[in-house]
């Protein structure tokens, strides 16, 4: 028997899931960007867009 996962955010309004296929809390983060001091996500993006370059 497989249980259906309960959604915290209804799919109809969950834009993050629609765009990225995962919930915001499921994103893996790495080191911090030396420019904006924000974590760089699994796709290499940070707040300032430099990705530490």
Would 40 be classed as within a structural domain? yes
pTM of the model: 0.54
Collapsing DSSP states into helix, strand and coil, what is residue 41?
strand
- Which residues, including other chains, have CB under 8 Å from residue 45's CB and lie 6 or more apart? 51
Is residue 45 included in any domain, yes or no? yes
The verdict on residue 8 lying in a domain is no
Q: Per the domain annotation, does 37 fall within a domain?
A: yes
Summarised one tens digit per residue, pLDDT across range 1-52 is 555 667 778 888 888 888 888 888 888 888 999 999 999 988 888 888 776 6
Q: What is the reported pLDDT for 7? A: 74
Q: Evaluate whether residue 12 is within a structural domain.
A: no
DSSP single-letter state for residue 9: S
**Residue 32 sits in which domain range?**
27-53
What pLDDT does residue 3 have?
A: 54
Please state the domain count of the chain.
1
């Amino acid at each position: 028997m497989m249980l259906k996962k309960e959604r915290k955010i209804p799919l109809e309004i969950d834009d993050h899931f629609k765009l990225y296929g995962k919930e915001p809390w499921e994103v893996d983060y790495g080191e911090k960007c030396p420019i904006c001091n924000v974590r760089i996500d699994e796709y290499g993006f940070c707040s300032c867009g430099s990705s530490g370059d």
